[in-house]
Amino acid sequence: MSTETKTGTALKGGEFLVKETPFTNIATRDELSEEQQMFSKTAEDFVTTRVQPNVQRIDKGDHTLVVQLVKESADLGLLGATVPEEYGGMGVDVITDSVINEEVGKGHSWAAAYAAHTGIGTLPILYFGTEEQKNKYLPGLASGDIKAAYCLTEPGSGSDALGARTKAVLSEDGKYYVLNGQKMWITNGGFADIFTVFAKIDGEKFTGFIVDAKSEGISLGSEEDKLGIKGSSTRQVFFNNVKVPVENVLGEIGKGHKIAFNVLNIGRYKLAVLALGGSKKSTTVATKYANERIQFNVPISSFGAIKHKLAEMAIKTYVCESAVYRSAGDIDNMIQALVAKGTDKVQAKLIAAEEYAIECALLKVFGSEVLDFVVDEAVQVFGGTGFSEEYPVARAYRDSRINRIFEGTNEINRLLSVGMLVKKAMKGELDLITPAMAVQKELMSVPDFGSDDSDDFFAAEKKALKNAKKAILMTAGAAVQKFMQNLEKEQEVIMNISDMLIELYASESVLLRVEKLISVRGAEACSLQIDIARTYISDSLEKINLSGKHAICAFNEGDTLRIMLMGLKRFTKYEPYNTVAARRRIADKIIEENGYCF
Amino acid sequence: MSTTADKKTTALKGGEFLIKESQWQDVYIPEQITEEQTMLRQATKDFILKEVDPRLEELDKDPMKGPEVIDKAAELGLLGLHIPEEYGGSGQDLTTFSYVTEVLGWGHGISVAIGAHTGIGTCPILYYGNDEQRAKYLPKLATGELKAAYCLTEPWSGSDALGARTKAVLSEDGKYYVLNGQKMWITNAGFADVFVVFAKIDGDDKKFTAFIVEKTMEGVSVGAEEKKMGIKSSSTRQVFFNNVKVPVENLLGEAGKGHKIAFQILNIGRYKLCNGVLGGAKRGISQAVRYANERQQFKTAISNFGAIKHKLGEMAIRVWMSESSSYRVCDLILQKEHELKAAGKTMTEYLTGGAEEYQIECALLKVLGSEALDFVVDEGLQIHGGYGFSEEYPMARAYRDSRINRIFEGTNEINRMLSIDALLKFAMKGKIDLMTPGMAIQKELMSVPDMSTPDADDIFGAERKALKNAKKAFLLIAGGAVQKLMMGLEKEQEILMHAADVLMDILNMESGMLRAEKLVNLHGLEASQIYVDMVKCYFFDAMDRINVAGKSALTAFAEGDELRIMAMGLKRFTKYEMINTKNIRRAVADKLIAENGYCFWD
């Protein structure tokens, strides 16, 4: 992807809340390089010809086939895409990895196996392994000869990951650790060759270990009977006096949380990409059905109620895509910048993912909720056949549901996103105070009745988003002032703020993307994308308004409440937009193309 | 049970809740349950706990075991509650039936099997059968000796029910009809003895007719069990009719009037669906609360976290509000039935007249109930975290089972559109007067806004005002759409859907408020404060939803000055107090948590 067009300095993580981004600064899915397109095509062909025809077999529990397909994907270079070349991978950037994962995301249970292997399975070693460990494991992980699983969760510790009870004790001769404990919901548990296990040394120092699955003392529970992704292997893993050589300690002793959380940062981003792929697929599947299904002598796609659904599915998917690739681009740019300054490429990626941890958490929530929305509406479009397991959408509906739970529940990610933002502000990494103070001042002054800059195509939208940022700063700023250290106990308020942040990030991303697209193709050729952006922003501002109201009413009274509510109203204004007509135009295009086409 | 004695005003007619004010004395609330009804309800709970719960997995694996459980329900008399005594039932009224159905809603696929038998299976014969047909079938349907299924949907006709292709041709000797066709998604098909089948005589669209078909008739066959996402313990199959000879005396109702039967059965079926899913929802809440109390994370029960309290509070509020509407409408249907019976109407007329009168409410309830349940199971699953995704915990099943409710008995989209369609038809026919209040609003739009403050002594002063305004908002949207689009409105499904969403919130707001008010009057404010708060919390969100839906609708058909004036009116009509909903949800949740389950009338 050409980066020459970029101007200005890149935004830091979380800065989207306080700064404006020129469209030239963001990456979009519309400008993939030839190489990236090739990767996309390879992944698409593989998933279409090898995975999708076998979805039923895989869901019945054919893990041999799952493993075989993992291996086949490796032969195409898909498994080790993000592993550096020196370790047998392709060393692609985040955007390239994303186009691959989008296609993988259409692969149901197999996608979970692939993602667990390449993500939480491989990344801990890639990021935190010693040179020896990397040399020993990465080539095998990239080639699929070694399959990996990640053992963090325990029956008693899910969201509270650090509450793990698995224990490691150093042997008297200092040569190995003895591991005892029990891990739960371990994806790929049934066939993994190595496990990244988190345990507390002497019950205190939370530490990562690379554990050979063949070690004595390891045993597996039976396959979990799950609601969805039935074809992915999910088991408990038991460690009974397992001897792990000291050279298999991953990263620093007592710094296991760093591994766990960093791997989750990028894992969350990847989850959003996988969900995006799934959303595109289900939108297409629903469109095809709506075109085929005849009721009242016409295809049901000709009904307004169905058009509304199809359009909304496509809108959310497109917006999600805009946000995902914007983040990917930001991460890639930071990696490039760091590498240019001499940082090791792998370290650079780690640093960059941490920098954009807020965006990753927001994307995880947004991506998984868009997918859940899309599959739910797909079932509804299918009617009775949607409830039948012999049609594709029931599976999609069941499979989707885990995404709001794993890699940190969406509640945890909402809380985290705001928590991280506040922390960044406290540390002085991000100046929220100055703009928040400015908003406070503005609240007391005469409203800005300035007309929109008519030269700018998106003047109204830009103004609206600028105001939305003020709405969030006002709400979050007041909450911090009011609760100080106790803010974390006000989870409802934090969730409201997080919802506002998600809407802002999504809205701004789609706006910038469309603006960029217009700069290339002209507005006329982008009329539907303009519809998408305006419809989304119109709805989004209503959501920001409501979330703000809930939050503000939760901790203000009297005059303060009144002033803030007035400010909120002012900051969430947007000209009424005929979203019904816009959705019809969007739907008509999808219907004509017989699938998602943006 | 004296529900009529304390009534002050005449009962609302169907759809009239939109334009008339009701008093708390007018509404029936579930807390008015009698001792006898409570006992029956308890027996039903015991039945579920003993006969269904321990067998959930086994029944899900083999729907053909469903009849064993249905027979147990029959032994308790649960299949014949609504069947008159002269036909072997116990002749209970709809209220009693509802108290039982609600608990049966705990039974996953089995509740669907029983519901299909007693509802769409039995009711066509109960409502439309002649004396011979009733005498022949009802006693055995009441005892479960015969099990019933309803065959309307076909592979090519779902929402478009009248597009059915199954054909009936009268034999030359005039003694029987020859049936040919194929029906799909037939609940209880695997074991039903009696099928109520809709077919077109001579394939003529105008001769859509219902028939009672027995399994033993030659040419009736069933397909394999459908592999469904949920309600696996209910049998769902295709049913094929291949030159089936159906005696003419098995024609149900009048030839060519099958659509009337189909739609009437669906009217009451929608009410019952709502009633059942709300029972399921209350159980789902209890399961979620118990789990949240047990599950420890960060060294404390997760029920202590605000994020979880928010969910629990909202789950309970939505269910409680919809339940208020459900029992209110139940009573209205029942009163109508009594009125028609007293007026000397036929059994068909008085049994179907209630649901027909309140068809708008029934359609709205179907949507409200099924969406409340889907919300509850989704959040319940989320509270369970990883365990929610496991089939060894209860939420995964509930999540799968719930999903069908938004699809069958008319998809929620069809029901949304039907509700508005019926309302407009009522208006056209002069059954209710939407014109006068509609015109008044137009006038009000042009005049100075009403700045009066609500009566401070009235605990629901703000709500009464908001409700009145919400009704105006609806009339503004729908009235504007009708004026502007005229007959073209039916093509503007998006607007109809928005209007239906507004109408649902109005029904719930009013019913919930009146229920809370009645409780305050019965038990005092202190004991009922939580209900008052729940109502306020619902109002806060509902008024916002109405505003958003209204804006979408208005911008879809108005422009320029007209739009500006209407939008201003909408804004004015959707104002409500700014209250602390977080605290209310916490208070509601704290009560649930303390009681370790749903506790607002269970």
In contact, A16 and A504? CB cutoff 8 Å: yes
Give the integer Cα–Cα distance in Å for B136 and B131.
8
Which residues in chain B touch residue A491, judged by CB atoms under 8 angstroms apart?
A: 305-307, 310
CB pairs under 8 A between A and B: 178
Which residues in chain B touch residue A228, judged by CB atoms under 8 angstroms apart?
A: 389
Which residues in chain B touch residue A159, judged by CB atoms under 8 angstroms apart?
A: 297-298, 302, 385
The mean per-residue pLDDT over the stretch B220-247 comes to 98
Q: pLDDT at position A450, please?
A: 63
Q: pLDDT at position A453, please?
A: 58
Cβ-defined contact of A576 to B554 (cutoff 8 Å): yes
Q: pLDDT at position A4, please?
A: 41
Residue A387 lies in a domain: yes
Residue A424 lies in a domain: no
For B24-49, the pLDDT digits (tens) are 999 999 999 999 999 999 999 999 99
- Contact of B300 with chain A, judged by CB distance below 8 Å, is answered with no
Q: Which of B409, B463, B510, B517 is catalytic?
A: B409
The mean per-residue pLDDT over the stretch A242-246 comes to 98
The residue among A412, A444, A461 that closes a domain is A412
Give the integer Cα–Cα distance in Å for A470 and A570.
10
3-state secondary structure of A196: strand
Higher pLDDT, B162 or A274: A274
Residue A314 lies in a domain: yes
Other beta carbons within 10 angstroms of residue A487's beta carbon come to 20
Cα separations in angstroms, A39 against A36, A100, A144, A282, A402 = 5, 6, 18, 22, 27
Cβ-defined contact of A227 to B406 (cutoff 8 Å): no
In the predicted structure, residue B193 carries a pLDDT above the cut 60 = yes
The residue among A146, A172, A204 that closes a domain is A146
Q: State which H helix or E strand residue A151 sits in.
A: strand A148-151
- For residues A403 and A528, membership in a common domain is answered with no
The mean per-residue pLDDT over the stretch A238-267 comes to 95
- For residues A392 and A464, membership in a common domain is answered with no
- For residues A452 and A308, membership in a common domain is answered with no
For B576-598, the pLDDT digits (tens) are 999 999 999 999 999 999 999 99
The residue among A225, A252, A279 that closes a domain is A252
Q: Which residues of A, range 401-430, sit inside 8 Å of B by Cβ?
A: 401-402, 404-406, 409-411, 414-415
Determine whether B349 is exposed, middle or buried from the number of CB atoms within 10 Å of its CB (0-12, 13-18, 19+).
middle
Cα separations in angstroms, B593 against A237, A506, B380 = 33, 36, 14
Q: pLDDT at position B187, please?
A: 97
In the predicted structure, residue A66 carries a pLDDT above the cut 60 = yes
Q: Which pairing describes strands A176-187 and A218-220: parallel, antiparallel, or unpaired?
A: unpaired
Q: Which residues of A, range 304-323, sit inside 8 Å of B by Cβ?
A: 304-308
Residue A27 lies in a domain: no
Residue A418 lies in a domain: no
Residue A419 lies in a domain: no
Q: Which residues of A are catalytic?
A: 407
* Residue A177, domain CATH: 2.40.110.10
* pLDDT band at residue A455 under the 50/70/90 scheme: confident
* Residue A387, domain CATH: 1.20.140.10
> Which domain range does residue A73 map to?
34-146
Phi, psi angle pair for B240, to nearest 5°: -110, 140
- For residues A71 and A120, membership in a common domain is answered with yes
- Contact of A155 with chain B, judged by CB distance below 8 Å, is answered with no
B61–chain A nearest CA distance, Å: 14
In contact, A138 and A164? CB cutoff 8 Å: no
Least confident residue range of B126-135, B374-383, B414-423, B438-447? B438-447
**Helix A304-340 vs helix A94-104: crossing angle, to nearest 10:** 150
Residue A358 lies in a domain: yes
DSSP characters for B497-538?
Answer: HHHHHHHHHHHHHHHHHHHHHHHHHHH-HHHHHHHHHHHHHH
- For residues A133 and A174, membership in a common domain is answered with no
Give the integer Cα–Cα distance in Å for B260 and B210.
10
* pLDDT band at residue B7 under the 50/70/90 scheme: very low
- For residues A261 and A406, membership in a common domain is answered with yes
- For residues A317 and A458, membership in a common domain is answered with no
- Residue B250, C-beta contacts closer than 8 angstroms, at least 6 positions apart: B133, B211, B212, B213
DSSP characters for B250-265?
Answer: GEES-TT-HHHHHHHH
Q: Which of B305, B389, B411 sits opposite A383 (nearest CB)?
A: B411
How far from chain centre, in Å, is Cα A545?
24
Residue A537 lies in a domain: yes
- Contact of B555 with chain A, judged by CB distance below 8 Å, is answered with yes
Which chain B residue is nearest to residue A399, measuring alpha carbons? Answer: B389
Which chain A residue is nearest to residue B558, measuring alpha carbons? Answer: A578
- For residues A433 and A547, membership in a common domain is answered with yes
Higher pLDDT, B247 or A161: B247
Give the integer Cα–Cα distance in Å for B75 and B152.
29
- For residues A51 and A172, membership in a common domain is answered with no
The candidate with the shortest Cα–Cα distance to B580, out of B269, B350, B310, B294, is B310
* pLDDT band at residue A454 under the 50/70/90 scheme: low
Q: pLDDT at position A445, please?
A: 83
* pLDDT band at residue B1 under the 50/70/90 scheme: very low
- For residues A122 and A160, membership in a common domain is answered with no
Q: pLDDT at position B9, please?
A: 56
Mean pLDDT of chain B: 95
Which residues in chain B touch residue A566, judged by CB atoms under 8 angstroms apart?
A: none
* Residue A38, domain CATH: 1.10.540.10
Which chain B residue is nearest to residue A562, measuring alpha carbons? Answer: B578
What counts of helices (H) and strands (E) characterise chain B? Answer: 19, 10
What predicted TM-score, i.e. pTM, was given to this entire model?
0.96
Cβ-defined contact of B229 to A398 (cutoff 8 Å): yes
Q: How many domains does chain A have?
A: 4
- Contact of B568 with chain A, judged by CB distance below 8 Å, is answered with no
The mean per-residue pLDDT over the stretch B366-371 comes to 98
For an interface test with B, give the residue of A578, A579, A583, A585 to mutate (most B CBs within 10 A).
A578
- Residue A499, C-beta contacts closer than 8 angstroms, at least 6 positions apart: A414, A543, A544, A547
In the predicted structure, residue B564 carries a pLDDT above the cut 90 = yes
- For residues A65 and A188, membership in a common domain is answered with no
In contact, A190 and A117? CB cutoff 8 Å: no
Residue B456, token pair as written in the block: 């401070």
In the predicted structure, residue A7 carries a pLDDT above the cut 50 = no
- For residues A463 and A407, membership in a common domain is answered with no
